[in-house]
């Protein structure tokens, strides 16, 4: 992959160079998975918000199906997005062994989110939301090349040490841009979701649609940065 090698050889470009590499991964080919992510994240979020159970009640069928559709859609469309961002030799839409291994990584991420929610709680207090967001950033950022490699690498990326190396080429710029770009987006998304859940926003449909767009932008920006880190490791 000539372009990937070129990206790796430009690894001395500092923070701006790393951001440029991340931006360069977002070619027009990501349009289809990005649009599908937008649809599934927005629609499932609206259904969940319209079917919030009363305190003490279990979620109804509509909410449960929306949550399932959100998870399945994220899995199905995130893998081709990652493979396109990284110029993976794996067919973008093929449900191969890497796809099913990536499911385990997503389950790990959900378990991490649940653990952080248990530690910091789930109140609407902005400080706690910010602390939870920062904790997730610091935990997940060092794992980024492996997370991407699970979906994109050939052969199958079962060994994390294959991707968690050459830290000097990617860890600091990835952490900096994650804190400057990804964390604020995640913080804003969490604040909007909490306000919608608590009924504190009058323009429900407008904000809910914009929140779906924010969710999609958050996913794409996060994985574009992750892809830049992965490509530096792969070419190291």
pLDDT tens-digit profile of 159-210? 999 999 999 999 999 999 999 999 999 999 999 988 888 777 878 899 999 9
What pTM value is reported for the model? 0.90
Query: Mean per-residue pLDDT for 74-102?
Result: 94
Q: Which of 30, 26, 71, 40 is nearest to 213 (CA)?
A: 40
Q: Which of 70, 29, 58 is nearest to 215 (CA)?
A: 70
Residue 199: left if φ>0, alpha if ψ -120 to 50, beta else—which one?
left
CA 13/CA 25 separation, integer angstroms? 16
* Radius of gyration of the chain measured on its C-alpha atoms: 18
In this predicted structure, what is the pLDDT of residue 236?
Answer: 63
Residue 122 reports pLDDT greater than 80: no
Supply the mean pLDDT for the chain: 89
> What is the helix, strand, coil percentage profile of the chain, to 5?
80, 0, 20
Q: Are 180 and 222 in contact (CB under 8 A)?
A: no
Distances, alpha carbon 136 to alpha carbons 59, 98, 123, 140, 174, in Å: 26, 24, 17, 6, 14
CB 178 within 8 A of CB 229: no
Q: pLDDT by residue (tens digit) across 14-45?
A: 999 999 999 999 999 999 999 999 999 999 99
Enumerate residues 6+ apart whose C-beta is below 8 A from 98: 79, 90, 150, 151, 152, 153, 156, 157
């Amino acid at each position: 992959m000539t372009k990937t090698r070129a990206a790796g050889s430009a690894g001395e470009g500092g923070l701006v160079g790393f951001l440029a590499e991340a931006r360069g991964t977002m070619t027009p080919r990501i349009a289809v998975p990005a649009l599908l992510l937008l649809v599934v994240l927005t629609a499932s979020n609206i259904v969940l918000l319209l079917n919030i159970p009363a305190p003490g009640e279990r979620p109804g069928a509509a909410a449960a199906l929306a949550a399932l559709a959100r998870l399945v859609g994220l899995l199905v469309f995130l893998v081709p997005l990652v493979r396109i961002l990284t110029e993976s030799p794996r067919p973008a839409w093929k449900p191969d062994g890497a796809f099913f291994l990536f499911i385990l990584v997503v389950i790990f991420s959900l378990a991490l989110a649940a653990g952080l929610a248990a530690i910091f709680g789930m109140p609407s207090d902005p400080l706690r939301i910010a602390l939870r967001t920062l904790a997730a950033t610091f935990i997940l950022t060092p794992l980024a090349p492996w997370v991407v490699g699970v979906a994109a690498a050939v052969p199958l990326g079962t060994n994390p040490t294959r991707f968690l190396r050459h830290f000097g080429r990617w860890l600091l710029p990835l952490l900096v841009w994650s804190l400057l770009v990804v964390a604020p987006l995640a913080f804003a998304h969490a604040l909007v979701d909490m306000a919608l859940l608590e009924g504190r926003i009058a323009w429900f449909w407008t904000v809910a649609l914009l929140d779906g767009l924010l969710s999609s932008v958050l996913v794409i920006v996060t994985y574009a940065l992750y892809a830049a880190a992965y490509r530096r490791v792969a070419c190291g």
